Amino acid sequence: MRIVAINSSMRKGRTYELLNNVVSKLPYDSEIINLKDYNIKFCLGCENCLKRDKCVINDDMEFLMNKILEADGLILSSPVYIENVSGLLKTFLDRTCKWYHRPPLLGKPVLLVATTAGSALKSVLNYMEKVVISWGMKPCGKIGKKISEKREVNERDIEKFIKALENPNSREYVGLIRLMRFQVQKAMAKNVIKIDKEYWRRTRLLEARYFYEIKADPLSQLIAASFGKFLSNKIGENVAQNSLNLD
């Protein structure tokens, strides 16, 4: 079992200390990656990674993304900077854009960690959760600490993460909002970019109700599936209309 832990602070301060404490409690081979030590350039917005599955920028991002792909679990951390993640982490996340279109981390457990000198812990952790869910990951807890609190963690903080690692086929309950977000990604993949549709077909996500096996109440599943069909039809109609206009 191998865990990759991402530190997105520019220094080894409170966030690194908390992250290190989390890693020390895990009974696995763990590696802390300090993003500041790597060459990570800004996303150009050229969409080459979306349309051709290849980034045109020559830096360390492919190496770092492969590290995450090869790991059994991920710990993602950030200090709070002006009510958001650090600029370093945001740059890193921007460069994973193709993972939103073609999520490769299906069901892989992730633990989220953040520190703050004041406010916005909840909103920052929630933002990070939205990103990793779009990658297809299984969220397994959030650890947030203020500057006034000790950067210590207990077994309860990491219990869900460990259980998910030890029992990868266990099913979590997923609510309506996450089911709907999945349907949005599916509708886009089915109608917009050809290689997205091929990926979702190959991984059988086009016929799935979620990224991995879950528990969900029947009504939520019905609402999400109906919404997904409606959205897919609308996007398909718009794409077809735009093609006619271009012709």
The answer for 208, left when phi > 0, alpha when psi is -120 to 50, beta otherwise, is beta
| pLDDT for residue 240 is more than 60 | yes
- Is 193 found in the same domain as 113? no
Q: Mind listing the pLDDT tens digit for each residue in 75-95?
A: 999 999 999 999 999 999 999
Give the residue from 134, 166, 198 where a domain finishes.
166
- Is 216 found in the same domain as 158? no
Q: What is the DSSP string of 107-151?
A: T-EEEEEEEESSS-HHHHHHHHHHHHHHTT-EEEEEEEEETTS--
55: domain CATH number? 3.40.50.360
**Arithmetic mean of pLDDT, 204-218:** 97
Rounded Cα–Cα distance for residues 23 and 5 (Å): 8
Rounded Cα–Cα distance for residues 237 and 233 (Å): 6
- Is 184 found in the same domain as 102? no
Q: Which two tokens stand for residue 230?
A: 């409606």
Q: How many domains does the chain have?
A: 2
Rounded Cα–Cα distance for residues 96 and 110 (Å): 16
How large a percentage of the chain has pLDDT more than 70?
Answer: 98
Which of 23, 127, 19 has the alpha carbon at shortest distance from 77?
A: 19
Q: Tell me, what's the pLDDT at 175?
A: 97
- CA 68 vs. chain centroid, Å, equals 11
Give the residue from 166, 196, 221 where a domain finishes.
166
Q: Mind listing the pLDDT tens digit for each residue in 125-180?
A: 999 999 999 999 999 999 999 988 877 888 899 999 999 999 999 999 999 999 99
Q: Tell me, what's the pLDDT at 178?
A: 98
- Is 229 found in the same domain as 111? no
Domain of residue 28: give its range: 2-166
**Any idea of the CA torsion for 153, 37, 134, 49, to the nearest 10 degrees?**
-170
| pLDDT for residue 64 is more than 50 | yes
- Is 20 found in the same domain as 135? yes
Q: Which residue has the tokens 């599936």?
A: 225
Banded model confidence at residue 243, pLDDT cuts 50, 70, 90: low
**Arithmetic mean of pLDDT, 24-52:** 96
Query: Is residue 171 in some structural domain?
Result: no
**Arithmetic mean of pLDDT, 217-244:** 90
Banded model confidence at residue 246, pLDDT cuts 50, 70, 90: very low
